[in-house]
Amino acid sequence: MNTNYDSWADIYDEVYSFVDYDINFYLQKASSIKGNILEIGCGTGRITIPLMENGANITGIDSSQKMIDMLGTKVANNKVPIKIIKQDVRDLELAQKFSLVIFPYRGFQSLLTVEDQVNALNSLRNHLEPGGKLIITLFVPGKDLFDQRSDIFYHLRDSRYQEDNGYRSLHHRTEFDHHNQLIHTQISITEHIGDYLISKRYADFTLRYLYTDEARYLFEYCGFRIEEIAGDYDGTPYDRDSEETIWSLVVR
């Protein structure tokens, strides 16, 4: 089941506020690029806005209109030009090509079939300038992930909001479709003031996990040469203990 990211727009920043460890990585990559940059899955601007503020000539693509609207509101008064476009990465129709395309965090893994992944990679390859680079990040599926029980909501974190004694609590539970390599996750967001529960809501998403050798074959099959596989955003080489893979790809 494809995720309805419109339903995530108003809570995305809250749920993923802790994800900031990759921002400097993309800032460094963008600073070395003189041409145009394309971000796939720009969402509410977690990566887009820092790149824009750093002077990058960036275009953001997302399939969720509500995400795009929220990002548009954030940058409405900014004098730095930015393009935000609603399109599907599997079938991009853009008027220009790019020196750098980035697909941050879990974006590529929201493509839930091999066919979707192939279509997206072919579409991205056609939008890269000669010598251009594509960066894709994937999490490495490991034992800790698969040891989770689907009937338990695991605590993620709490965060303060509004009044001094108000807080939000995030929990998640996950079901696995091992045949199709799918992870179905439900997030529970509860709001409290003191000891009182004020509200509770749920948000669902599905991701497809890839094993490293599978990803390597997929990228090469779609016409890319693997320039580098890092295991962390500080450039640490990928090894068997890595929890992330950061792929730097160029068109063959």
Q: Give the model's confidence band at 130: pLDDT under 50 very low, under 70 low, under 90 confident, else very high.
A: very high
Lowest-confidence segment of 107-111, 193-197, 239-243 by average pLDDT: 193-197
Q: Give the model's confidence band at 234: pLDDT under 50 very low, under 70 low, under 90 confident, else very high.
A: very high
The sheet carrying 58-62 orders its strands as 83-86, 58-62, 37-40, 98-103, 128-139, 244-251, 224-230
Q: Looking at the chain, which runs of residues are DSSP E strands?
A: 37-40, 58-62, 83-86, 98-103, 128-139, 154-160, 166-177, 182-193, 196-208, 224-230, 244-251
Mean pLDDT throughout 137-146? 90
At residue 1, the pLDDT reads: 59
pLDDT over threshold 70, residue 80: no
Helix (H, G, I), strand (E, B) or coil at 243: coil
Top CATH class of 5-139+211-251 equals alpha beta
Largest CA distance in the chain: 59
At residue 102, the pLDDT reads: 98
% of the chain exceeding 70 in pLDDT: 98
Helix (H, G, I), strand (E, B) or coil at 247: strand
pLDDT over threshold 90, residue 98: yes
Q: Give the model's confidence band at 8: pLDDT under 50 very low, under 70 low, under 90 confident, else very high.
A: confident
Amino acid, res. 88: D
Tell me the per-residue pLDDT of 22-66, one tens digit each, with 9 for 90 and over.
999 999 999 988 899 999 999 999 999 999 999 899 999 999 999
At residue 163, the pLDDT reads: 65
Rounded distance, CA 141 to CA 99, Å?
30
Task: Give strand pairing partners of 183.
Answer: 176, 207
pLDDT over threshold 80, residue 78: no
More confident residue, 17 or 231: 231
pLDDT over threshold 80, residue 81: no
Rounded distance, CA 58 to CA 49, Å?
9
The whole-chain average pLDDT of the chain stands at 91
% of the chain exceeding 90 in pLDDT: 69
Q: Which of 250, 239, 242, 245 shows the shortest CA–CA distance to 215?
A: 245
